[in-house]
Structure 1
């Protein structure tokens, strides 16, 4: 009489041997887990078994992505300076202090009258940034007259820095420079955020140490309101290069 059970057991054993020889992974019903990249609950296993002496263990993933934002220049200040007199300008060097109030006229339309300077960096790259500023010549709003030999001493007070490693702005002395291709030819670096700093929101305010020094002017100097354009350039690197 043929032993059917014995034949089935031999066939099952042969299949297991063939699977091992061919490098196949047989279905694992009694493994306790957790799985691997090639052998896990979703690929080869029919389930992990929990027994009286061991747990059935599994691992899955919870995941999200952080998308990068932008590096932006959000606010730059206008600078209103105290009045000068013809007698003072023609007698010697004059120093005009920062005054309260709003500027009128001029070709710079982006400035605010609260002295606010603000930069935000939400790129997530921690690459740092730099801010340059330059000043054009002081020219009369009503004509072509200019005031020569001017130096703007710009001083900023740091306010809120999201990253405490971010350095404060430096003080810069800006002379009236030439305009080439509609931009200043001699900008100065006012604010530098090295790598691993400058992230988040960074604010500074023009302070009372800001003033304008004017060398002695000729007797032919004209009265009127004189305005110089300030050129601000934010660059996505700690080392500034001339902006165009």
Structure 2
């Protein structure tokens, strides 16, 4: 898996990149948890989501947000990190111009950034949000949410309590034209301690179903 350095808005960004042998393979970008609380692209959930996509033929990228590892810059409370994610997607698309679709996956803080990226980039056709924190971050920008996806969280999450995630899911369920799939890992906390394998298995099962054409409404392709 090649280590890569590419240009971001605040300087270079460090990533790990695995191209698919297929020229028109879909792209997946995976976003890590909060940079100020130990989040990096080598977080195990991020790492395993990366390989989940890679094993299914996606061209896959994970990277460190600004100020983490060899990525330059400093933490910017989400604004700069969203710009980092957009720059990462620009970079990988420049290498794979024949790829017509994209997925974004994010964990915790990364889920919030990923959902914002989804709003900005019409080529993103699916998302996986692991343990989003609507009790901490504002998700009102999802009006409407443009793509179908998975929201997965733990029943015993004290960082992002289940009732707050449920309220977000309920709001998204009222929107037409998309299908929001919710999975609750019983007994799991925010870090999915002792439930990591179950988390990845549920994400993989969802992605496999989407690749079979399930769990998403047929709708006109959005244009870039």
TM-score by length of 2: 0.25
Task: State the structure with bigger RCO (CA 8 A, min sep 6), 1 or 2.
Answer: 1
Q: Highest Rg: 1 or 2?
A: 1
TM-score by length of 1: 0.24
